[in-house]
Amino acid sequence: MGGYSKAGITVSKKVSKSAVERNRIKRILREIYRINRDILPDGVYLIIRGLPKAAGADFCEIKREILSLFKIIAAKKFGDNIDKVL
């Protein structure tokens, strides 16, 4: 296909007043995207927004949520052939 996907990541002060906590969530989201971006079809542009629920979550919980969304996006693009992609 020749394209690539991109993601913008944002975590607002509504999630946590602490910049340290917001940056931790952003780092987690960035790393999950970096490791799993090959699941996404080419040419997908995402905005990943950290929600307040993410402040108390650990890496595995956030990863599970993001991967389920990535799989939904991939399924819409590839249809029934999603098992071949994953």
**pLDDT greater than 50 at residue 1:** no
Which two structure tokens, joined as six digits, stand for 17? 């007043």
Structural domain includes residue 42: yes
Instruction: State mean pLDDT over 52-63.
Output: 93
* Amino acid occupying residue 19: A
* Residue spans of beta strands (DSSP E) within 32-72: 45-50
Hunting for tokens 């890496």 — which residue is that? Answer: 59
Mean predicted confidence (pLDDT) in 58-65:
95
Whether the pLDDT of residue 49 is over 90: the answer is yes
Number of H helices, E strands in the chain: 3, 2
Percent of the chain past pLDDT 70, that is, above it, reads 86
Half-sphere exposure of 8 (CA within 13 A, CB side): 3
The total number of structural domains in the chain stands at: 1
Q: Which domain holds residue 20?
A: 6-81
Q: Can you give the pTM of this predicted structure?
A: 0.82
Task: Give the pLDDT band (50/70/90) at residue 6.
Answer: very high
CATH code where residue 72 lies: 3.30.230.10
27: in domain: yes
In a domain, 1, yes or no: no
